[in-house]
Amino acid sequence: MNRILLSTTIALAAATPLAMHGADSSEENPNRLSLGPRFGMNFKGSFHNSAPVNPGPAAGGANHNYNDGYVRLDSSGNAGGLTSNWGYQNGSQVVGDTMQFNAVQSSGSAGSADSKVTGDPQYGAELTYQRVLGHLPFASAGRWGLEGAFGYTDLDLRDNHSMTGPVTVTTDAYQLNGVIPPGAGYNGTFQGPGALLGDVPTRTTTTEIATLTSHQKLSGQLYSIRLGPFAEWNFTDELSLAVSVGLTLAPASVKYDFSETVTGASGTFAASGHSSKTELLYGPYVSAMLRYDFSKSWGVYIGAQFQSLNDLELSAGNRTARLDQSATIYGLVGASWRF
The dihedral built from the CA positions of residue 68, 72, 75 and 78, taken in this order, carries a sign that is positive
Extract the runs of DSSP E, i.e. beta strands, from 176-318. Answer: 197-198, 202-234, 239-264, 267-293, 298-307, 312-316
Would you state the pLDDT for residue 112?
52
**Among candidates 337, 282, 279, which has minimal Cα distance to 127?**
337
Contacts of 336 (CB under 8 A, 6+ apart): 32, 33, 34, 35, 291, 293, 298, 299, 300, 301
Residue 283's alpha-carbon distances to 91, 199, 244, 328, in angstroms, are 46, 48, 14, 11
The residue ranges of the chain whose pLDDT is under 70 are 1-27, 107-113, 139
**Among candidates 331, 336, 328, 321, which has minimal Cα distance to 47?**
321
The residues with which 171 forms a beta bridge, in sequence order, are 102, 204
Would you state the pLDDT for residue 49?
85
pTM value?
A: 0.78
Would you state the pLDDT for residue 14?
41
Beta strand 94-95 with 122-135 is: unpaired
The tens digit of pLDDT for each residue in 64-110 reads: 999 889 999 999 999 999 999 999 988 999 999 999 999 988 765 44
Would you state the pLDDT for residue 29?
85
Would you state the pLDDT for residue 27?
57
Go through the domains of the chain in sequence order and give each one's CATH number. Answer: 2-50+107-172+201-338 (2.40.160.20)
**Among candidates 74, 75, 102, which has minimal Cα distance to 88?**
102
**Which 3 state secondary structure label does DSSP give 146?**
strand
Identify whether the C-beta of residue 175 lies closer than 8 Å to the C-beta of residue 97. yes
